Copies of this chain bind each other. A is one copy, B any other.
Amino acid sequence: MKIVFLGTGSMQPTKERNVSSIYFNHESENILFDCGEGTQRQMRLKEISPTKITKIIVSHFHADHVLGLGGLLRTLEANEYNKTITIYGPKGVEKFVHNIIHSAYYGDSIKIKTIEIKPGIIINEEKFTVEAFQLDHSVPSFGFRLKEKDRRKINLEYLKKFELKQHPLLGELQKGKDIVWNDKKITAKKATNVVKGKIISIIFDTGYFNNIIKLAKDADLLISESTFSIEEKDKAREYKHLTAEDAAKIAKKSKAKKLILTHFSPRYKDISKLQKEAEKEFNSVECASDLMEINI
């Protein structure tokens, strides 16, 4: 699984940071989480072709999370994107997307499907799932848990005594099915090792609440908004955002392995302060920067 931070700022762009967008790639699947203004330019800078996008998930309809959608859809149209693009978003998604594509002259060749996000599994692909969790923000807002499905890795060492190497039957073992080879039964249990799927949790705009731990539980990677420093804790509470300390507490309580902070207020030129605040609570903290890439 690959993650690219396309925009790591909040509210309005700065010289250093564009507004919210995270690109997720898993084999042929390319999902955009949020699409703030300027996201397609960030993709160009990172040499990610917009036409590779298979799905768009909008966490909530605040301007800094969605206003790049119109330009991206127009670019898909101009590049003869011939698939249906699915846009997931909270209540109102259909109306907002309608307004977005009526903000300028568009053709009518692009096929858009909008899906209103409800808590639970919203995407169930062959190799991974995306689960949505309701957050607590000033407008309906969601966080997401991306879970790679467990898979079986062939134990080639074990198969040596059966003299079985490359063969289509290995695929059956990987599916967890027992096979027969040279009149001998080979069980999937013995011939394969289960590799646990990785978990990436993403916390978008939200105030702190106890149940948020569930979203991040045992995540291999927790990406969390961290709009404010603890010095602006009152502002964080008022506007329903997290401080860096909040994000770190969530990482700690949920036993996440690694925490990446993002969605910083434009007021912070130097975010090392936020990193230090988080490090007091949790030992594996990194601050995202625009176009940063993580492979997991």
Contacts and interface: CB of A to CB of B under 8 A. Distances in A.
Given A61-B104, A63-B105, A70 B13 contact: no
Nearest to A140: B105
A37 B71 contact: yes
Contacts of A69: 103
Contacts of A44: 13-15
Contacts of A139: 105
Interface in A29-64: 37-38, 40-41, 44-45, 61-64
Given A18-B41, A37-B70, A41-B38, A62 B104 contact: yes
A156 interface: no
Contacts of A85: none
A12 interface: yes
Contact of A38 (B37, B95, B99, B105): B37
A13 B38 CA distance: 9
Q: How large is the interface on A (under 10, 10 to 19, 20 to 34, 35 or more residues)?
A: 35 or more
A54 to B, nearest CB: 19
A78 B265 CA distance: 13
A200 to B, nearest CB: 26
B38 A104 contact: no
Interface in A1-18: 11-15, 18
B41 A13 contact: yes
Contacts of A74: 12, 63-64, 67
A70 B103 contact: yes
A68 interface: yes
Q: Can you list the 4 inter-chain pairs with the closest CB atoms, starting with the nearest?
A: A37-B71, A63-B74, A38-B38, A13-B41
